[in-house]
Every structure is written in structure tokens, then in C-alpha cells.
Amino acid sequence: MGATNEGMIDLTDMNAMIEANLPLVKHIVLQVAVHFPRHVEREELARAGALGLVEAARRYDESRGVPFDRFAAQRIRGAILDAVRAADWAPRSVRTLARKLEATEQQLASRLGRIPTTEEMAEALSMDTKELSRLRDRMFRSVVLALEHEVSDDVDDDLTLVDVLVDHAAVEPSEELETRELHAYLRDAIALLPERQRLVILGYFLEGRTSQELARFLGVTESRISQIRSEAIQMLKEGIEAQYASGSASAPAPRGRSARRKKAYVEAIGERSEWGDRMDQISLIESDAPTLEVGLPLS
């Protein structure tokens, strides 16, 4: 192998070395790829590794006594990691540790004439092998995926990441309609509660009144307020659930005063608003509705 006066190889030998060691790039890509998420393109890693191989051939100095394949392996691996880090938003602390890790690895490789083992790296960094593994995992997973990344192997689909990502802040139209309907039923159900139950629900849940305030306002004990609140919640629950239950024309007529009162309450909720009106109302409490202030004293 021809060498220059400075111990560097000539262009012909450089090209020969690059061609002879191209399989090394593929081998290292397979080694490091297992640490990256599946969305990281192996072809991109291979391209970065090939550039690392070319850089290794340019910088190789055989007078140092290090075999080219060992020297190149370090450069290839470093080029792959650099390419991945260039596309990530890792915290500064992770990047700092990554640079320290890479510098230590290069120093050990130069001294040992080979890629250092995990144990040797951990010892040089004054950490155990588990800590080193966690650090490498943080490095490998700190990758930001481009939204134009293709996620389908089917050429006819041509789907990118932006096409399949779920926007959790957005609400599906059907879900929005269901929410409006539920809120409308709740508004009607509260408005149709017996007066004391309605005052307790509005005062406790919408005005933030305490049981003591409500008890003083209604002239009852706090335990009675708790009982009224429980009864009102149960009525609301049963009244609203009944709006979604499929009725039966052959259902027997309710017996007893309490059962008839519940049936009348359920029917009143369903009849109080038209379906279109329920869809038009967005907020839980109508803006043009009478004030919901119970009028309790603050002291």
C-alpha cells in the first residue's frame, strides 16, 4: 500500500480501501440499528456510515499501526450517530453526555487498537454497565421523526406520518355532537329537579358552596344536605341514562307514587328540548339562561 511522506495513503489506495470495506458499513448499521426506533431509516444510516468510511480513508495513517478496518469502524459508527443526533431535539444534558461518550470511545479505540468493550467504556466513564446502557438508550431514542416520513409500504397508499398522527386536542364531529347532546340533557335534567335538589346541585357543584352554607340557607342540617345531594345525583343519573335507553312499548305502567314521579321526570327531560336545539348549545350552561346564583350569603 503506497504511502505519502506524511504517512497518508494515495488516492488510488484510498479508493481501493473504501470499496473493500463497504460491507463493514452494512455490518455496523445492523449493529447500531437495533438501538434505534423502527422509524429510523436504515438507508439513511447506511449513507451516513458510507460518508464515515470515506472520511476514515482520508484520515487514515497506517504509520500509527492501527488496522484500517478498526479505525474505519470507529469513524463509521461516529458518523451514523452524528447523523441521527443532527435530527434530534435531545436535551442539552444528553448531548453533552453523548459527546463525552464518543470522545472516550475514540480515545480508548486509539489506545487499544480496537473498539472498546462495554465494560472498558463503563470503567473509563466511572459508571457501571447498567448506567452506560441507560445513557446509550437515551441517546439512541432522542430522535425527532419528520412529518413527511412515509409509514406505508404500499406505494398506492403514499401515507406519511402527518396523515396518521392522532391530534388528541381535536374532537371528532360525532364526539362533539354527543357531548353537546349530553350537556343539553344535563341542563334540562338540572332545571327539572325539585327546587331543593336543584339549589343544592347548583350551589355545591357550580357555585362552590359548602355543605355548611347550603344547610344554613335551606335551614337543614349538613347531613340532610348530603342526603339531598345524593338523591339529586341519582335522579340526574337515572334521568339522563333513560334518554339513551331504547324504550319498550309493552313496558308495564309504573306502580307507586315514586315510580310514577321518576317516569314523569324522565319524560320531561326528553320533551324539554328539541334535538336541533340540543346540538346548537355548546356550553354546559346556556348564556341566555336566567342567572344560576342561588343567592346564598357569603358569611
Cut 0.75: pTM above it: no
276 shares its domain with 195:
yes
**Domain co-membership, 177 together with 148:** no
Instruction: For residue 226, give the amino acid letter.
Output: S
Model confidence band, residue 80 (pLDDT cutoffs 50, 70, 90): confident
**Signed CA dihedral, 167, 39, 150, 157: sign only:** negative
Q: Same structural domain for residues 86 and 206?
A: no
Q: Given this model, what pLDDT does residue 291 score? A: 39
Look at residue 88 in the predicted model and tell me its pLDDT.
56
Q: Are residues 188 and 231 in the same domain?
A: yes
Q: Which of 60-74, 95-109, 182-196, 243-257 has the lowest mean pLDDT?
A: 243-257
> For residue 252, what pLDDT is reported?
63
CATH of the domain at 230: 1.20.140.160
What is the per-residue pLDDT for 9?
64
- Do 130 and 18 belong together in one domain? yes
Contacts of 3 (CB under 8 A, 6+ apart): 9, 10, 62, 63
Could you report the per-residue pLDDT of 110-169, keeping only the tens digit for each?
A: 888 888 888 988 898 888 888 888 877 776 655 555 444 555 555 455 566 556 555 656
The answer on pLDDT for 247 being more than 60 is: no
| Same domain for 238 and 206 | yes
Q: What percent of the chain has pLDDT over 70?
A: 68
Domain that holds residue 222: 173-280
What b/e sequence results for 80-110 when a residue is b if at least 16 CB atoms lie within 10 Å of its CB, and e otherwise?
A: bbebbbeebebeeebeebbeebbeebeebbe
pLDDT at 293: 46
Distance (Å) of CA 140 to CA 86, 107, 117, 179, 251: 12, 21, 18, 42, 64
CATH number at residue 67: 1.10.1740.10
Verify that 183 and 266 share a domain, yes or no.
yes
Percent of residues, the chain, with pLDDT higher than 90: 16
When mean pLDDT is compared across 100-104, 162-166, 192-196, the lowest value belongs to 162-166
Whether residue 50 contacts residue 22, with contact meaning beta carbons closer than 8 Å, is answered with yes
**Of 82, 117, 152, which residue is a domain's last?**
152
User: Cβ(21)–Cβ(9) under 8 Å?
Assistant: no
Q: What is the DSSP letter of 114?
A: S
**Residue 256 clears pLDDT 80, i.e. is over it:** no
pLDDT tier for residue 63 given thresholds of 50, 70 and 90: confident
Q: What is the pLDDT of residue 101?
A: 81
Q: Is the pLDDT of residue 248 over 70?
A: no
More confident residue, 31 or 188: 188
Specify if 94 maps to a domain.
yes
Average pLDDT of the chain is 76
Residues 148 and 180 in one domain: no
